[in-house]
């Protein structure tokens, strides 16, 4: 009888050890799956990739439209209450000393942009008190936007300025 009790005790102890080992591996597997899922999930707001020039300031044209540009955001208002958008500046791409493009993620819009998509704002001829700013448009005058930041990087380039901007206007004053 002692022998069977001892075996039963060892068997129960072995069984308990196996259960603990299975739980540890199961916990490890769950943790590993969570980490893999987290790495595949969409990232939060990307950081500014290029610390190039940004034409910071409150810019207005003679028709009442304007841009308010900070180091991290942009607000556009057409001055008539019909078209505005806000965006987060993600990439600055300088073409020359006084020209480039700001690639932004749209945060709000009532002018045809889709929230959480990407577009650009081109600028040229920057001086401390004057700059030309333009939103990219297609042949039908619709705003150009891209689904991903990678697409925006390859779309809003120096090679596409003349295709995306048909009229610079008189520019904006600070």
48 is a domain residue: no
Question: Nearest Cα to 165, choosing from 119, 108, 118, 104?
Answer: 119
Considering the domain architecture, whether residues 14 and 67 belong to the same structural domain is answered as: no
- pLDDT, tens digit, for every residue of 117-136? 999 999 999 998 999 999 99
Structure tokens at 108: 């709000």
138 is a domain residue: yes
Spatial CB neighbours of 105, under 8 Å, sequence gap ≥ 6: 45, 87, 88, 90, 116, 117, 118, 149
Residue 35 has pLDDT above 80, yes or no: no
Considering the domain architecture, whether residues 72 and 118 belong to the same structural domain is answered as: yes
Structure tokens at 164: 């995306």
Spatial CB neighbours of 54, under 8 Å, sequence gap ≥ 6: 69, 71, 89, 92, 102
CB 87 within 8 A of CB 103: no
Q: What is the mean pLDDT of residues 9-38?
A: 48
Residue 37 has pLDDT above 80, yes or no: no
- pLDDT, tens digit, for every residue of 76-105? 999 888 889 999 999 999 999 899 999 999
Considering the domain architecture, whether residues 91 and 15 belong to the same structural domain is answered as: no
Q: Is the dihedral of CA 78, 166, 168, 108 positive or negative?
A: positive
Considering the domain architecture, whether residues 75 and 1 belong to the same structural domain is answered as: no
Q: pLDDT: is 111 or 129 the higher one?
A: 129
Q: What is the mean pLDDT of residues 42-60?
A: 72
Determine the Cα–Cα distance for residues 164 and 135; give it in Å rounded to an integer: 8
Considering the domain architecture, whether residues 16 and 93 belong to the same structural domain is answered as: no
Question: Can you give the pLDDT at residue 166?
Answer: 87
Considering the domain architecture, whether residues 35 and 67 belong to the same structural domain is answered as: no
List the domain range (segments joined by +) for residue 5: 1-41
Question: Can you give the pLDDT at residue 17?
Answer: 54
49 is a domain residue: no
């Amino acid at each position: 009888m002692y022998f069977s009790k001892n075996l039963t005790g060892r068997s129960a102890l072995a069984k308990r050890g196996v259960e603990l080992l299975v739980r540890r591996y199961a916990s490890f597997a769950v943790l590993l799956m969570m980490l893999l899922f987290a790495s595949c999930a969409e990232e939060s707001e990307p950081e500014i990739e290029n610390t190039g020039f940004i034409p910071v300031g409150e810019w207005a044209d003679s028709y009442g439209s304007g841009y308010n540009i900070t180091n991290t955001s942009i607000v556009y208002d057409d001055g008539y209450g019909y078209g505005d958008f806000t965006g987060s500046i993600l990439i600055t791409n300088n073409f020359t000393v006084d020209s480039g493009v700001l690639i932004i993620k749209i945060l709000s819009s009532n002018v045809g942009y889709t929230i959480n998509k990407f577009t650009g704002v081109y600028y040229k001829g920057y001086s401390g008190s004057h700059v030309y700013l333009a939103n990219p448009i297609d042949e039908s005058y619709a705003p150009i936007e891209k689904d991903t930041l990678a697409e925006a990087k390859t779309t809003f380039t120096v090679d596409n300025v003349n295709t995306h901007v048909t009229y610079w206007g008189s520019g904006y004053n600070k």
